[in-house]
């Protein structure tokens, strides 16, 4: 009879581990969705800022006007700083998203290792 008690305790422990993993996964999926949106928004901002820098570096009317007024260096420096700041924010969001995706993979693997413990317990 002792063997069955130990087996039931093991299965009960596995069920609790699976429930924890499933709960963590649910939370991580919510975080993933939020971070995907945030990263997409930051990527758009980064691309827009880089476009501003590129526009000033091309031979455009805007660049000509800034050169003519003598403020090209100041404006270009400002736009480059904004582009760099946007790139740093995007990179941080992308790394945070990757960390959440790594956690999802970990907990999915953990949960998949305990697929039928509830059925066995019952």
The encoded tokens of residue 63 equal 């660049």
Q: How many domains does the chain have?
A: 1
32 or 58: which carries more pLDDT confidence? 32
Q: What's the mean pLDDT in 6-19?
A: 80
Q: What is the DSSP letter of 115?
A: T
> For 40-53, how does the pLDDT look when each residue is reduced to its tens digit (9 = 90+)?
999 999 999 999 88
The encoded tokens of residue 89 equal 């924010």
pLDDT at 102: 97
Domain that holds residue 101: 2-121
Whether the predicted model's global pTM rises above the 0.85 cut: no
> For 88-120, how does the pLDDT look when each residue is reduced to its tens digit (9 = 90+)?
999 999 999 999 999 999 988 887 776 665 565
The encoded tokens of residue 34 equal 């939020």
User: Which spans in the chain are helix H?
Assistant: 2-57, 61-69, 72-112, 117-121
């Amino acid at each position: 009879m002792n063997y069955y008690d130990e087996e039931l305790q093991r299965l009960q422990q596995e069920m609790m581990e699976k429930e924890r993993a499933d709960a963590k996964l649910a939370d991580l999926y919510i975080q993933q969705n939020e971070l995907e949106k945030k990263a997409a928004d930051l990527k758009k901002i980064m691309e827009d800022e880089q476009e501003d820098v590129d526009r000033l570096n091309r031979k455009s009317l805007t660049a000509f006007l800034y050169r003519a007024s003598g403020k090209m260096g100041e404006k270009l420096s400002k736009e480059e700083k904004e582009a760099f700041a946007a790139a740093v924010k995007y990179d941080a969001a992308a790394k945070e998203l990757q960390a959440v995706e790594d956690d999802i993979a970990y907990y999915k693997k953990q949960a998949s290792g305990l697929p039928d413990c509830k059925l066995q317990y019952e």
